[in-house]
Amino acid sequence: MKYKIIVAFLLLTGCQKVIDLHLNNVPGKYVIEGNITNLPGPYTVTIGQTGNVSDNYHFNGVSQAQVIIRDNAGNSETLQEKTPGVYQTALLSGVQGRTYYLNITLGSQSFSASSVMPYLVNLDSIYVTDVMNFDKKVKAIVPVFTDPPEKGNCYRINQTINGVLDKTLFEENDDFINGKTNSSALLNPDPDSTLHPGDRVDIEMQCIDSAIYKYWFSLDESSLGNNSSNLPANPVTNIQGGVLGYFSAHTSQKRSLIVK
């Protein structure tokens, strides 16, 4: 598997010079993130807005939006705003194999997206193994699952260590593991990153559709400058209407262990 991490490097030199950058402010863009899973709800859609480069980051929630989610089985629900910019379902269920449609109206603007919840590929187990990471031997988690023989399966894995989410982006399609059992470890590009005895590791595996795989893959690539211009670019969203973010219907399953 190919796993990468979003890393920010700060370069320090012996001689320092203050450079005054004159950055133009640009109009804010809406940022939409929505998730529906096979687990019981409620499910959440957040709507925020980007700020200027000079602003301190905080979630700038956008209120008074009409947010509707429906599925291809005839179910539909208008989400309620719980806090500014955070909208939740009350009744909708996430069902494997169904297509979910998101429609958002903000004043005269509208945004839409769709996502198919794949059928669950079972996360059989997880275990710790010793593996070489560059020139160092480290301890890492291997998620054990068998990819189905049908092509087109995609996965995202979240790893939490001692209650802290690992910011490494773990996403994969089945181009190289089609029909096979995964044996690849969740490696962090930092060769000094390793698990230690007593660490609690929580793994969530998501089965995602191809559009959401493209979102996470492009976010992964752009964060490292892996594009033709070597400059960060916005990830490929599946939301129509000129916004940032994603709408994902996916399965979710979790496994945990204590490193010995």
- For residues 187 and 140, is the Cβ–Cβ distance under 8 A? yes
The whole-angstrom separation of Cα 140 and Cα 166 is 12
Cβ(114)–Cβ(131) below 8 Å: no
Short-list 237, 215, 213, 207, CA closest to 104: 237
pLDDT above 80 (res 38): yes
- 174: pLDDT strictly greater than 50: yes
Are the beta carbons of 67 and 45 closer than 8 angstroms? yes
Per-residue pLDDT tens digits for 46-65: 999 986 544 555 789 999 99
Q: Would you state the pLDDT for residue 190? A: 85
Q: What is the pLDDT of residue 58?
A: 72
Residue 105, pLDDT above cutoff 80: yes
Where are the extended beta strands (E) located within 134-167? 136-144, 154-161, 164-165
CA distances (Å), origin 149, targets 123, 124, 158, 176: 16, 17, 24, 12
pLDDT at 151 exceeding the cut of 80: yes
Q: How far is residue 161's CA from residue 180's CA, in Å, rounded to a whole number?
A: 27
At 55-91, the pLDDT tens digits run 555 789 999 999 999 999 999 999 999 999 999 999 9
Percent of the chain predicted with pLDDT > 90: 76
Asked whether the beta carbons of 255 and 126 are under 8 A apart, the reply is: yes
Q: What residues are paired with 36 via a beta bridge?
A: 249
- pLDDT at position 114: 98
| Region 133-161 average pLDDT | 96
The mean pLDDT of 174-182, rounded to a whole number, is 97
- Beta carbons within 8 Å of 233's beta carbon, 6+ residues apart: 218, 222, 227
**pLDDT digit string (tens) for 195-240?**
999 999 999 999 999 999 999 999 998 766 555 444 457 899 999 9
Q: Which residue has the higher pLDDT, 99 or 53?
A: 99
* pTM across the whole model: 0.85
* Dist. CA 248–CA 101, nearest whole Å: 10
pLDDT of 12 over the 90 cut: no
Which helix (DSSP H) or strand (DSSP E) does residue 218 occupy? helix 210-223
Distance CA 201, CA 256 (A): 6
Least confidently predicted of 21-35, 138-152, 181-195: 21-35
Query: Is 80 exceeded by the pLDDT of residue 260?
Result: yes
Which pLDDT score is estimated for 64?
96
Q: State residue 132's pLDDT score.
A: 92
**Which pLDDT score is estimated for 55?**
52
Amino acid 214: pLDDT: 97
Do you know the residue count of the chain? 260
